[in-house]
């Protein structure tokens, strides 16, 4: 089951009827650049191009330029097929009349292809996306301005969700055995990391008299994007 984000200017219409017969979780937001700010994380993004191909093309190019981080699929009518080119930056096209088997297959292939291309360089959990290759991290699409140690701390905790680590363990894993500073260093970095997470600061949970852990949203598991 995948988390899907649909961008459409016709919020009350059925963009892709076949999705109603599948078990994927679907979130619909307006097809506007402003709506992308704070948009929920998704395994795939679907843009509705049935009514306005020019607007859909512009939105697809914005998503591609900003690095949406998820496969981008375009829903169009059969008449719109002639207008679509590689310039759009999309991963696949789905006809609005496509059946559930076809829709599911196209989603599965697009998501799987990106997983294969990314290898095991991405960690996704509770709205946080960590790219180990580029040493970058985002929370709900917002890039976090982290120092190297803040990034390493977040990466380590997110890669081991719900597991509690003592300050001594975190010093060993993140700072290394040759670090001679005290455990207060961990507290300082956790405080700074929480400040940069903003509204999502609760992701770094404190277990009293023990240490810290990365807190998952309910019914969620953290995962590396892998092939």
For the ranges 4-13, 60-69, 70-79, 148-157, the lowest mean pLDDT is seen at 60-69
Q: What is the predicted pLDDT for the residue at 227? A: 38
Secondary structure of 74-143 in the HEC alphabet?
Answer: EEECHHHHHHCCHHHCCCEEEECCCCHHHHHHHHHHHHHHHHHHHCCCEEEECCEEEECCCCEEEECCEE
Helix, strand or coil, per DSSP, at residue 197? helix
Percent of all residues in the chain with a pLDDT value above 70, rounded to a whole number: 89
Measured distance CA(47)–CA(60) in Å, rounded: 7
219 vs 132: which has the higher pLDDT? 132
CA distance 31 to 63: 11
Domain at 3-120: CATH architecture: 3-Layer(aba) Sandwich (3.40)
**What phi and psi, each to the nearest 5 degrees, are found at residue 84?**
-85, 130
pLDDT band at 219 (very low <50, low <70, confident <90, very high): very low
* Predicted TM-score of the model (pTM): 0.54
List Cβ neighbours of 124 (8 Å cut-off, separation of 6 or more): 41, 130, 222, 223, 224, 225
Reported as a pLDDT band with limits 50, 70 and 90, residue 183 is confident
Tell me: pLDDT of 199 over 60.
yes
With a cut of 60, say whether residue 119 has pLDDT above it: no
The Cα–Cα gap between 206 and 157 comes to: 12
- Show the tokens assigned to 93: 């096209």
The token pair at 195 is 């400040």
Q: Sorting pLDDT into bands at 50, 70 and 90, what band is 88?
A: very high
Asked if 33 and 55 touch (Cβ cutoff 8 Å), the reply is: no
Lowest mean pLDDT among 58-62, 150-154, 206-210, 222-226: 222-226
Per the model's pLDDT, the better-predicted residue between 218 and 161 turns out to be 161
Q: Please count the CA atoms within 13 angstroms of the CA of 139 that sit on its side-chain side.
A: 20
Nearest-CA neighbor of 110 among 71, 75, 76, 84? 71
What pLDDT does residue 132 have? 81
CATH topology of domain 126-214: Arc Repressor Mutant, subunit A (1.10.10)
Winning range, highest mean pLDDT, from 29-33, 181-185, 210-214? 210-214
- With H, G, I as helix, E, B as strand and everything else as coil, classify residue 28: strand
pLDDT band (50, 70, 90) for residue 68? low
Taking residues 159-178, what's their average pLDDT? Answer: 85
Mean per-residue pLDDT over the chain, rounded: 85
- The mean per-residue pLDDT over the stretch 121-134 comes to 83
Numbered ranges of CATH 3.40.50.2300 in the chain: 3-120
Instruction: Give the mean model confidence (pLDDT) for residues 181-199.
Output: 91
At 178 the pLDDT is 60
Instruction: Give the sign of the dihedral formed by CA 142, CA 222, CA 40, CA 86.
Output: positive
Number of C-beta neighbours around residue 110 at 10 A: 23
Distance CA 84, CA 64 (A): 15
Reply yes or no on whether the pLDDT at 140 is more than 90. Answer: no
- pLDDT tens-digit profile of 92-106? 999 999 999 999 999
Closest CA to 37 of 3, 62, 19, 4: 62
Domain with CATH 1.10.10.10 in the chain: 126-214
């Amino acid at each position: 089951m995948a988390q899907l984000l649909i961008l459409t200017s016709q919020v009350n219409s059925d963009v892709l009827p076949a999705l109603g017969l599948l078990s994927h979780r679907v979130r619909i937001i307006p097809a506007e650049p402003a709506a992308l700010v704070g948009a929920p994380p998704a395994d795939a993004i679907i843009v509705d191009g049935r009514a306005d191909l020019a607007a859909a093309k512009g939105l697809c190019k914005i998503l591609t330029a900003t690095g949406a981080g998820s496969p981008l699929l375009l829903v169009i009518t059969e008449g719109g097929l002639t207008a679509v080119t590689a310039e759009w930056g999309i991963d696949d096209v789905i006809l609005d009349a496509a059946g559930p088997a076809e829709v599911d297959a196209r989603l599965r292939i697009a998501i799987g292809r990106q997983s294969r291309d990314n290898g095991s360089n991405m960690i996704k959990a509770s709205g946080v996306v960590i790219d180990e290759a580029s040493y970058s991290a985002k929370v709900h699409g917002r890039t976090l301005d982290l120092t190297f140690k803040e990034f390493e701390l977040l990466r380590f905790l997110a890669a081991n969700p719900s597991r509690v680590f003592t300050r001594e363990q975190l010093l060993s894993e993140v700072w290394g055995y040759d670090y001679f500073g005290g455990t207060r260093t961990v507290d300082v970095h956790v405080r700074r990391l929480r400040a940069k997470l903003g509204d999502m600061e609760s992701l770094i949970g404190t277990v009293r008299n023990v240490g810290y852990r990365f807190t998952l949203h309910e019914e969620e598991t953290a995962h590396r994007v892998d092939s």
